[in-house]
A and B are shown apart, each in its own frame.
Chain A
């Protein structure tokens, strides 16, 4: 069934991203204008705008199942693309779409439910003989039980939220002494984030790499993978930079892991785009971690090396079309890197730094792709994520991609908020990152400073501070402060003063 009008139940860069593919396919797009972001960039890209600025609910509309469905019916959308986050992995939402004869551009409610519940996902993986870490058989209800399980599998262990994802409700426990506190914290966080306090326990793999496989399946049962991405650059389980392919895999392991990814997707009758995440240890063992049943933030790196538009495939699959590729058709060439440029203060523990983007100039060129939902004048609102732009760089090989990335980072110009740029400028010069050997704890444990300190830049900033100090203490061209010969100020300063008033 041909899709004619997609309602995008999302905002920001992913809304813009979906619209660009829909346009290419001749599909009309509708977006929702919210009170929080009435002038957002994605609105200008869409064909139709539903004005929801009258909605004063505290819950963002993108999380409001009933309201989204009502809007879709009202504007006559025949499909909904959920993007990522918000309702993208909510099985009830996918079911509600089906109940209202709206095509949900994503997998079935059943697949979302099974993979979304990590305890069920573990059971399915176990039954399919997928390599996994040892762990509790189901949920662990009490601290006492947690201690018993941990004794059996041996410390360190990791507590995870059953309905978890994105690092929330997750705690590493290294000794029995820590267990009660960590158990409580994980359980509380799980409850607050996912409204489900149940947790389970797994053996903690020390210093793993995070490697994930992109899969695509159609409604006829055909499933393929589009090779891997490596996302070992993380802080508190939040990905900061992703690349494809991974420098850790040889052809044999890559093929093996790809086949396992397809196997687990098949086990839940998966269709649409999805991601199977693995931990990869220093000995080359890999363990299934979880499956994400949505398009991922980092999907562009796969698109750059395979040449396949994943959103287009999602839409085709949702229309009921058969996959147009077989596994042997999926080749990859070159290397791609994505930097998530966020409005965050890296000098204050990556805390969100919302604000208005005054200027934004992103580099462009043959090997550069920028996915953004932000333009000069846009406001990074505290209610939503802190993403400003994804800078995605291509190169013939990793070395070239890194060199291109370094150059491109120097060309980014963003004024108005603090950004994660200093972090990437530091990382792109770090030998351990450059040689491709880093593992997931690296950023938190082995980096002493999240930016490159430059004495020259500090000196220039000191000069500017001094200049401002003088400027603010001028009175009729004289310095008010306790310095003799203050009358002797530069004509340039005087000029500045005159121009200002």
Chain B
């Protein structure tokens, strides 16, 4: 096997971090190698020691190759890919072309108060789609794209959980 295959990539959507295998407990920055240590104790829980500082870490999600890591209180999402799976993914993305659909998911748990669009409506970016009540606050959920309402999966008075599908849109390019 070619040498470049001994790698794994962690992708954020914007960035690609590559790590040589076997994975070492060091990260190279410029010319220097810095040691990373994962530790766990009763006082601090799990943390990473890096450059003489303790960073709190928590694993929010770990499902197949998808990871959400809370690092120093900030959440980062990754998919981990091998060189082969990355190539396949890139190929599939090219085949698919630009996105055709936009799914509107509930940003937080709450109750639907009003649905302001109907199936088949042509709507513009920024138009209000529905009103979601959460923590006694009414939140207007606005349309992130220009498109046509393909389906509405919620009704007024309905309770939704975080990430529940509320509305599907066909994007107009």
Q: A residues within 8 Å of B by Cβ?
A: 167-168, 181, 185, 188-189, 192-193, 236, 345, 347-349, 351-352, 358-359, 361, 413-416, 418-419, 421-422, 425, 451-454, 456-470, 472, 479, 481-486, 488-490, 492-493
Q: A470-B8, A484-B5 are in contact. Are A462 and B73 (CB under 8 A)?
A: no
The answer on a CB contact under 8 Å between A493 and B22 is yes
Ranked 3 nearest A-B pairs via Cβ: A484-B1, A462-B10, A462-B17
The answer on a CB contact under 8 Å between B135 and A352 is yes
The answer on a CB contact under 8 Å between B71 and A457 is yes
- Chain A residues with Cβ below 8 Å from B107 are 348-349, 351
The answer on a CB contact under 8 Å between A460 and B1 is no
The answer on a CB contact under 8 Å between B135 and A463 is no
- Chain A residues with Cβ below 8 Å from B75 are 345, 347, 418
A463 to B50, CA, bound (A): 12
B72 at the interface (CB under 8 A from A): yes
A100 to B96, CA, bound (A): 72
A185 to B38, CA, bound (A): 50
Interface flags, B1-30, vs A, CB<8A=1, else 0: 100011010101001010101111101010
A-B pair count, CB < 8 Å, reads 161
The answer on a CB contact under 8 Å between A484 and B6 is yes
The answer on a CB contact under 8 Å between A359 and B1 is no
Shortest CB–CB separation between residue A158 and chain B, in angstroms? 15
Chain A CB within 10 A, most for which of B12, B15, B72, B133: B72
Shortest CB–CB separation between residue A190 and chain B, in angstroms? 10
Shortest CB–CB separation between residue B127 and chain A, in angstroms? 12
Shortest CB–CB separation between residue A495 and chain B, in angstroms? 12
- Chain B residues with Cβ below 8 Å from A490 are 22-25
Stretch of B41-49, B118-126, B145-153 that contacts chain A? B41-49
The answer on a CB contact under 8 Å between B19 and A460 is no
What is the total number of residues of chain B having a CB less than 8 Å from a CB of chain A?
Answer: 59
Query: Please, which residue of chain A has its CB at the minimum distance from the CB of B110?
Result: A351
B90 at the interface (CB under 8 A from A): no
Q: A458-B15, A465-B69 are in contact. Are A493 and B23 (CB under 8 A)?
A: yes
Shortest CB–CB separation between residue A463 and chain B, in angstroms? 6
Q: A192-B133, A460-B55, A462-B12 are in contact. Are A352 and B69 (CB under 8 A)?
A: no
A468 to B80, CA, bound (A): 10
B82 at the interface (CB under 8 A from A): yes
- Chain A residues with Cβ below 8 Å from B91 are none
Q: A189-B137, A460-B27 are in contact. Are A418 and B70 (CB under 8 A)?
A: yes
- Chain A residues with Cβ below 8 Å from B137 are 167-168, 189, 236
Q: A359-B43, A463-B36, A465-B10 are in contact. Are A185 and B78 (CB under 8 A)?
A: no
- Chain A residues with Cβ below 8 Å from B62 are 468, 472
**A348's contact among B17, B57, B108, by CB below 8 Å, is which?**
B108
